């Protein structure tokens, strides 16, 4: 045991010392970032400091491997990533504002106060912004690190693909990810853009590890468990990843579940423990009575769903008096009727109904409103599903083709039903041809879509970012392999 630890230390000590330099510098730099004393939220501060050190170590170790191994995987990943990074950076400088706004500005302001906003965007979001702010203490600092992470993910996917196509044909994978939809979100460090690239990394690793018949070692199990845990809790709809991950890992690494079940208890315990550890801070945040509760967080969805259901067949006369009163006191039905008459389907674009809500309403009134709307949803599920489906359709109708290349690219890249269709096709293909990893990844994409469509509080195309990345990943890796004329099963 001691010898193995010493061997690892000898191999990684340079990476550690290289990471230690910017980490120690962050103690000075963060003085320009934080507006509160570190002791005010000491646990959050220490945790984010640890995250920063681990991130810097992994990056330093990656760079050293890229330098030491001229033909190694890290070198190819870096080369692919650098080209994408320059394109992404150019897009940001050309098309996007170089300042924060909306939710990102709010997250940044709260991060300066060492508030991870676990009660609203999940603690992973705040910890990312706080950790980035320690090292790059200015508004665009977290955005620049997001560009790097996005590019490294793309570089990783292309590097894995080149082994089954070629170094040139692997570049085909960039085609869907150079579309405006992905580029716009690439220069964002909000929750969904970060979630999406982490999801893509997981899909690529599981797919290629299975294809190359990799073995599941302790380091890989730890990495996968952490990634799956983050994806499970970072967004509400991600909870299915707890079960999906427990199925994907044994299938991807061909673990002998039936014959040697007794050998799997250690990996299973490790998986469960890591997921529990990652969940604890979030559960603690939900239990904090001083922060907005889950009830308040669900209010935008309730207001959005109510307005849309009234346009999709729900009649006011069918609403029970007590339910009607609980809703009307917070958002008057008269105002909802006026809004629907004026806005029509444009009301799908965001939760406009919340602009009509009584700003002076206390928690009890808002809670009663949410309970009343949830009761209507349970009583009229088909109307609710129809209205949410119409909202999904609206995400693909917000951009039109006006005859030029620029609007054509934006029009095409924002068709959210296309990657959904691809996931459905690969699900059927994987099932018929017994390509189980392809089938399970596609099933995860469809499950993600179904949960988001049911829960979305606005028709934002970005909600379906995961499906976009996953559907086109499966399509273009197949195209690259076919065009390179490798004689192997593509989706094996």
Mean pLDDT of successive 10-residue stretches along the chain, which has 492 residues: 67 90 95 92 94 96 92 93 95 89 92 89 94 95 96 96 92 92 91 96 96 92 96 93 95 81 82 94 76 68 92 89 92 92 88 88 87 93 94 83 75 86 94 93 95 91 94 93 79 74
- What's the rounded Cα separation, in Å, for the pair 107 and 41? 16
For the record, the structure tokens of 368 come out as: 């009663």
181 contacts 452 by C-beta, under 8 angstroms = no
Tokens at residue 19, please? Answer: 């990471």
Buried b (16+ CB within 10 A) or exposed e, 319-357: beeebbebbbebbeeeebeebbeeeeeebbeebbbbebb
Alpha helix (H) residue ranges in 312-404: 321-328, 333-343, 363-379, 381-395
Look at residue 262 in the predicted model and tell me its pLDDT.
67
- Long-range contacts formed by 88-97: CB under 8 A, 24+ apart: 88/147, 88/150, 88/151, 88/183, 88/186, 88/187, 89/147, 91/183, 91/186, 91/187, 92/143, 92/147, 92/186, 92/187, 95/183, 95/184, 96/184, 96/187
pTM, two decimals, is 0.93
For 280-289, which contacts have Cβ atoms below 8 Å and span 24 or more sequence positions? 281/118, 281/123, 282/118, 282/122, 282/123, 282/233, 284/118, 285/118, 285/119, 285/123, 286/119, 288/119
How confident is the model at residue 395, as a pLDDT? Answer: 87
- Looking at residue 339, the DSSP 8-state letter turns out to be H
Question: Is residue 133 a contact partner of residue 33, using CB atoms and an 8 Å limit?
Answer: yes
Report d(CA 261, CA 148) in Å as an integer.
41
What pLDDT is recorded for position 4? Answer: 64
In the prediction, which pLDDT does 291 show?
A: 61
Angle at which helix 436-455 crosses helix 381-395, to 10 degrees, equals 110
Q: Is 401 exposed, middle or buried (0-12, 13-18, 19+ CB in 10 A)?
A: exposed
What integer pLDDT is reported at residue 289 of this predicted model? 61
Roughly how many angstroms between the first and final C-alpha of the chain, as a whole number? 37
Query: Please, are residues 183 and 91 in contact by the beta-carbon 8 Å criterion?
Result: yes
Distance (Å, whole) CA 121 – CA 234: 8
pLDDT at 27: 95
User: Token digits for 260?
Assistant: 């040697």
Rounded to whole angstroms, the Cα distance separating 451 from 470 reads: 16
CA-CA distance, 93 to 95, in Å (whole number)?
6
DSSP H or E run through 231:
helix 218-234
| CB of 231 closer than 8 Å to CB of 192 | no
CA–CA separation, 104 and 126 (whole Å): 10
CA distance 176 to 146: 19
pLDDT for the residue 276: 95
Going by C-alpha positions, the residue among 196, 265, 267 that lies closest to residue 230 is: 196
Distance of CA 331 to the CA centre of its chain: 32
What does the pLDDT read at residue 416? 87
**Alpha-carbon gap, residue 126 to 234, rounded angstroms:** 11
The reported pLDDT for the residue numbered 361 is 84
**pLDDT for position 71:** 84
**Among 358, 299, 304, CA closest to 330:** 358
State both tokens at 288: 């904090």
Q: Among residues 83, 50, 466, which one has the least CA distance to residue 58?
A: 50
Q: What does the pLDDT read at residue 412?
A: 80
């Amino acid at each position: 045991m001691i010898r193995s630890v010493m061997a690892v230390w000898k191999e990684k000590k340079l990476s550690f010392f290289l990471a230690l330099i910017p980490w120690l510098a962050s103690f000075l730099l963060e003085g320009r970032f934080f507006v509160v004393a570190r002791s005010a939220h000491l646990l959050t501060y220490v945790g984010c400091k640890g995250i920063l050190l681990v991130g810097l170590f992994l990056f330093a170790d990656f760079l050293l491997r890229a330098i030491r191994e001229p033909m190694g995987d890290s070198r190819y990943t870096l080369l692919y990533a650098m080209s994408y990074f320059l394109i992404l950076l150019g897009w940001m400088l050309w098309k996007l504002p170089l300042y924060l706004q909306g939710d990102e500005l709010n997250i940044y302001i709260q991060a300066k106060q060492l508030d991870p906003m676990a009660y609203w965007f999940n603690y992973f979001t705040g910890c990312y912004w706080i950790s980035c702010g320690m090292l790059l203490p200015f508004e665009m600092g977290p955005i620049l690190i997001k560009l790097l992470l996005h590019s490294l993910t793309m570089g990783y996917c292309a590097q894995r693909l080149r082994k089954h196509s070629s170094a040139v044909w692997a570049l085909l994978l960039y085609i869907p990810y150079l579309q405006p939809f992905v580029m716009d979100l690439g220069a964002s460090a909000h929750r969904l853009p970060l979630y999406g690239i982490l999801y893509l990394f997981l899909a690529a690793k599981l797919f290629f590890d299975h294809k190359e018949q990799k073995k599941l070692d302790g380091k890989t199990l730890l990495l996968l468990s952490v990634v799956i845990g983050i994806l499970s809790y970072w967004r509400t709809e991600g909870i299915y990843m707890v079960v999906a991950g427990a199925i994907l890992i044994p299938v991807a690494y061909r673990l002998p579940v039936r014959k040697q079940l007794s050998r799997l208890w250690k990996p299973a315990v490790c998986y469960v423990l890591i997921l529990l550890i990652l969940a604890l801070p979030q559960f603690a945040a939900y239990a904090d009575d001083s922060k907005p509760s889950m009830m308040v967080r669900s209010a935008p969805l309730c207001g959005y769903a109510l307005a849309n259901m009234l346009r999709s067949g729900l009649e006011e006369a069918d609403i029970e008096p007590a339910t009607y009163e609980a809703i009307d006191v917070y958002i008057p039905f008269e105002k909802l009727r006026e809004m629907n008459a004026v806005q029509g389907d444009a009301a799908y674009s965001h939760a406009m109904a919340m602009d009509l809500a009584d700003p002076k309403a206390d928690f009890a009134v808002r809670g009663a409103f949410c309970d009343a709307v949830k009761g209507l949803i349970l009583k009229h599920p088909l109307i609710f599903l129809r209205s949410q489906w119409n909202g999904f359709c609206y995400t693909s109708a917000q951009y039109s083709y006006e005859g030029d290349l620029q609007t054509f690219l934006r029009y095409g890249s924002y068709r959210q039903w296309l990657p959904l269709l691809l996931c459905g096709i690969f699900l059927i293909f994987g099932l018929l041809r017994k390509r189980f990893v392809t089938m399970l990844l596609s099933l995860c994409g469809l499950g993600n879509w179904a949960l988001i469509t049911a829960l979305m509080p606005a028709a934002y195309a970005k909600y379906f970012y995961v499906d976009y990345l996953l559907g086109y990943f499966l399509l273009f890796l197949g195209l690259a392999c076919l065009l390179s004329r490798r004689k192997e099963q593509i989706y094996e």
